[in-house]
Structure 1
Amino acid sequence: MTVAESAELRARRDEWTREVVRFTDIRLLVPSLVAWALLALTLTWSAGPRWVVTGVLVAVLLGARLLRRSARRLTLVVGVALLVQVAGNGQHALRGVGDLDDLTSARAVVTLEATVTSDPVTLAARGSGEPVVMAKATAHRVDGRGRSTPAYAPISLRGDESLLKVKWHDEVRLRGRLAPPLPGYPELAVLRVSSHEVTKPAGAIARVAEHLRSGLRRAVDPTPADARGLLPGLVIGDTSRTPPDLTEAMQATGMTHLTAVSGSNIAVVGGMVLGLCVLVGVPRRWRPYVVALAILGFVVLARPEPSVVRAAAMGLIGLIGMSRSRRAAGLPVLAGAIVVVLVVDPWMSRSFGFALSALATLGLLLFTRPWGDAIAQRLPPRLAFMGPAIAIPVAAQAMCAPLIVVLQGSVSIVGIAANLVAAPLVAPATIAGVVAALVSVVADAPARLVGWLGAVPTLGIARTARVMADVPGGTLPWPDGAPGAVLLAGLTVLLLLMGRWLGRFALVKPLVAVLIVALTAAMTIPTRVVTWPPEGWRIAFCDVGQGDAAVVRTGPGRALVVDAGPEPSAVDGCLDSLGVEVVDAVVLTHFHADHVEGLPGVIGGREVAQVLVSPIAEPGYQVGEVTRWARAHGIPVSAVAAGDRLAFGDVTAEVWAPVRRIAAGSVPNNASIVLAVHVGEVDALLLGDVEREAAHDLVLRMRRDPQMSSAAAEFDVVKTPHHGSANLDPALMAAVRAPVAVISVGKDNDYGHPTAAHLAMLRSNGYAAYRTDQRGHIAVVERDGRLEVVTAK
Structure 2
Amino acid sequence: MSLDLRLVPAALAVWAVALVGLHLGWFATALCGVAAVVTAVWSALLVVRRGTGRLASGVLAASVLAGAAAVVVTSHAYPAATHPLRELAARGATATVKLTLSEDPRPLRTKGYGGRPAGADQVAVRARLNAVQERDGWVERGGGVLLLASAATWAKLLPEQEVTATGALIVPRGGDFTVAVLRVRGPPIAVGPAPGWQTAAEQVRNGLRDASQVLSAELAGLLPALVVGDTSALSPRVVEEFQASGLAHLLAVSGANLAIVCGAVLLLFRLLSAGPRMAGAAAALALVCFVVLARPEPSVLRAAAMGGVTLLALVLGRKGSALPALAGAVIVLLLFDPSLATTPGFALSVLATSALVVLAPRWAGALRDRGVPVGLAEAIAVPAAAQLATAPVIAAISGQISLVAIPANLLAAPVVAPATVLGVLAAVASTVHESIAEFLVHLAGPEVWWLITVGRHAAAVPDNGIAWPAGVLGGLLLTALLVVLVVLWRSPRFRILLVLGVVALLLVTVPAKLISPQWPVRGWAAVACDVGQGDAVVLAVAEPGRAVLVDTGPEPLAVNACLDRLDVDRIPLVVLSHLHADHIGGLAAVLAERSVGAVAVGPLREPAWAMKEVRKTVEEAGVALIELGRDQRMEWPGLVLEVLAPLRSPEPRTSETPLSGTVVNDSSLVLRAHTAAGRVLLTGDIELSTQAELLASTVDLSAEVLKVPHHGSRYSLPRFLAAVRPRVALICVGSGNDYGHPSPLVLQALADVRVLRTDQDGDVAVLSTQDGLATARRGEPRPPPRR
Aligned to 1:658: 687
Matches within 5 A, 1:69-468: 71-96=56-81, 99-123=84-108, 128-129=115-116, 131-143=121-133, 148-149=138-139, 150-184=141-175, 187-193=178-184, 194-319=186-311, 327-379=319-371, 383-468=373-458
213 and 634 in structure 1: CA distance in 2 versus 1, 3 angstrom threshold: closer
**Aligned 8 A contact 1:781 1:789 in 2:** no
**Aligned 8 A contact 1:677 1:685 in 2:** no
TM-score using structure 2 length: 0.78
Letter in structure 2 aligned against 1:31 = A
**Aligned 8 A contact 2:124 2:148 in 1:** yes
Give a deviation string over 1:348-375, Cα, whole Å, max 9, x none: 1101100011001111111222211111
Higher alpha-carbon deviation: 720-729 or 386-395: 720-729
Higher alpha-carbon deviation: 175-184 or 521-530: 521-530
**Aligned 8 A contact 1:780 1:788 in 2:** yes
**Aligned 8 A contact 2:253 2:303 in 1:** yes
**Aligned 8 A contact 1:549 1:564 in 2:** yes
240 and 718 in structure 1: CA distance in 2 versus 1, 3 angstrom threshold: same
**Aligned 8 A contact 2:578 2:601 in 1:** no
Secondary structure at the residue paired with 1:165? coil
**Aligned 8 A contact 2:533 2:733 in 1:** no
Q: Displacement, 1:572? A: 6.2
1:30 paired residue among 9, 22, 26: 9
Aligned to 1:751: none
Secondary structure at the residue paired with 1:156? strand
**Aligned 8 A contact 1:110 1:177 in 2:** yes
Secondary structure at the residue paired with 2:96? strand
Q: Write the distance in 1 (CA, Å) between the matches of 2:475 and 2:358.
A: 20
Q: Write the distance in 2 (CA, Å) between the matches of 1:471 and 1:110.
A: 50
Aligned to 1:750: none
686 and 331 in structure 1: CA distance in 2 versus 1, 3 angstrom threshold: same
Aligned to 1:523: 508
Higher alpha-carbon deviation: 574-583 or 313-322: 574-583
**Aligned 8 A contact 2:227 2:420 in 1:** yes
Q: Write the distance in 2 (CA, Å) between the matches of 1:321 and 1:644.
A: 63
Q: Write the distance in 2 (CA, Å) between the matches of 1:450 and 1:388.
A: 28
Q: Write the distance in 2 (CA, Å) between the matches of 1:715 and 1:89.
A: 58
Q: Write the distance in 2 (CA, Å) between the matches of 1:632 and 1:179.
A: 47
791 and 238 in structure 1: CA distance in 2 versus 1, 3 angstrom threshold: farther
Secondary structure at the residue paired with 1:190? strand
Unaligned runs of 5+ in 1: 1-18, 507-511, 663-674, 745-768
Q: Write the distance in 2 (CA, Å) between the matches of 1:645 and 1:385.
A: 58
1:477 aligns with 2:462: no
Q: Displacement, 1:706? A: 11
Q: Write the distance in 1 (CA, Å) between the matches of 2:533 and 2:428.
A: 38
27 and 677 in structure 1: CA distance in 2 versus 1, 3 angstrom threshold: farther
Q: Displacement, 1:548? A: 2.5
589 and 65 in structure 1: CA distance in 2 versus 1, 3 angstrom threshold: farther
Q: Displacement, 1:201? A: 1.5
**Aligned 8 A contact 2:615 2:625 in 1:** no
Letter in structure 2 aligned against 1:398 = L
527 and 100 in structure 1: CA distance in 2 versus 1, 3 angstrom threshold: farther
Letter in structure 2 aligned against 1:595 = H
Q: Write the distance in 2 (CA, Å) between the matches of 1:586 and 1:281.
A: 62
Give a deviation string over 1:443-466, Cα, whole Å, max 9, x none: 111111111112222222222222
Q: Write the distance in 2 (CA, Å) between the matches of 1:517 and 1:321.
A: 33
Q: Displacement, 1:172? A: 1.4
**Aligned 8 A contact 1:782 1:788 in 2:** no
Q: Write the distance in 1 (CA, Å) between the matches of 2:327 and 2:127.
A: 29
273 and 411 in structure 1: CA distance in 2 versus 1, 3 angstrom threshold: same
Letter in structure 2 aligned against 1:310 = R
Letter in structure 2 aligned against 1:390 = I
Give a deviation string over 1:375-415, Cα, whole Å, max 9, x none: 112236xx334433332112111111121111222222222
Aligned to 2:34: 55
**Aligned 8 A contact 2:145 2:182 in 1:** no
Please provide the CA RMSD for this pair: 4.3
Letter in structure 2 aligned against 1:182 = R
1:591 paired residue among 579, 584, 598: 579
Letter in structure 1 aligned against 2:507 = A
Give a deviation string over 1:13-61, Cα, whole Å, max 9, x none: xxxxxx31xxx22222023224313422441324444434433444444
Matches within 5 A, 1:639-658: 639-640=645-646, 646=672, 648-649=674-675, 650-653=678-681, 657-658=686-687
Q: Write the distance in 2 (CA, Å) between the matches of 1:645 and 1:267.
A: 56
652 and 371 in structure 1: CA distance in 2 versus 1, 3 angstrom threshold: closer
**Aligned 8 A contact 1:780 1:790 in 2:** no
103 and 151 in structure 1: CA distance in 2 versus 1, 3 angstrom threshold: farther
Q: Write the distance in 2 (CA, Å) between the matches of 1:735 and 1:191.
A: 41
47 and 781 in structure 1: CA distance in 2 versus 1, 3 angstrom threshold: farther
Q: Displacement, 1:222? A: 0.3
Q: Write the distance in 1 (CA, Å) between the matches of 2:171 and 2:334.
A: 24
Letter in structure 2 aligned against 1:524 = T
Letter in structure 2 aligned against 1:563 = D
Q: Displacement, 1:602? A: 7.6
Aligned to 1:532: 519
Q: Displacement, 1:337? A: 1.0
Give a deviation string over 1:48-94, Cα, whole Å, max 9, x none: 44434433444444444455558544433333333223222111234
Identity of aligned residues (%): 32
Q: Write the distance in 2 (CA, Å) between the matches of 1:165 and 1:343.
A: 32
Q: Write the distance in 2 (CA, Å) between the matches of 1:97 and 1:334.
A: 35
Q: Write the distance in 1 (CA, Å) between the matches of 2:728 and 2:518.
A: 27
Secondary structure at the residue paired with 1:441? coil
TM-score using structure 1 length: 0.77
Q: Write the distance in 2 (CA, Å) between the matches of 1:590 and 1:633.
A: 14
**Aligned 8 A contact 1:676 1:686 in 2:** no
Q: Write the distance in 2 (CA, Å) between the matches of 1:456 and 1:445.
A: 18
Secondary structure at the residue paired with 2:168? strand
Letter in structure 1 aligned against 2:431 = V
Q: Displacement, 1:490? A: 3.9
Letter in structure 1 aligned against 2:280 = P
Q: Write the distance in 2 (CA, Å) between the matches of 1:172 and 1:61.
A: 45
Q: Displacement, 1:309? A: 0.8
Q: Write the distance in 1 (CA, Å) between the matches of 2:746 and 2:61.
A: 55
**Aligned 8 A contact 2:105 2:154 in 1:** yes
**Aligned 8 A contact 1:121 1:135 in 2:** yes
251 and 573 in structure 1: CA distance in 2 versus 1, 3 angstrom threshold: closer
Aligned to 1:666: none
Unaligned runs of 5+ in 2: 631-644, 648-665, 692-699, 781-787
Secondary structure at the residue paired with 2:413? helix
**Aligned 8 A contact 2:302 2:346 in 1:** yes
Q: Write the distance in 1 (CA, Å) between the matches of 2:775 and 2:182.
A: 48
Letter in structure 1 aligned against 2:370 = R
Q: Displacement, 1:420? A: 1.6
Aligned to 2:748: 735
Aligned to 2:652: none
736 and 151 in structure 1: CA distance in 2 versus 1, 3 angstrom threshold: farther
Q: Displacement, 1:434? A: 1.1
Secondary structure at the residue paired with 1:107? coil
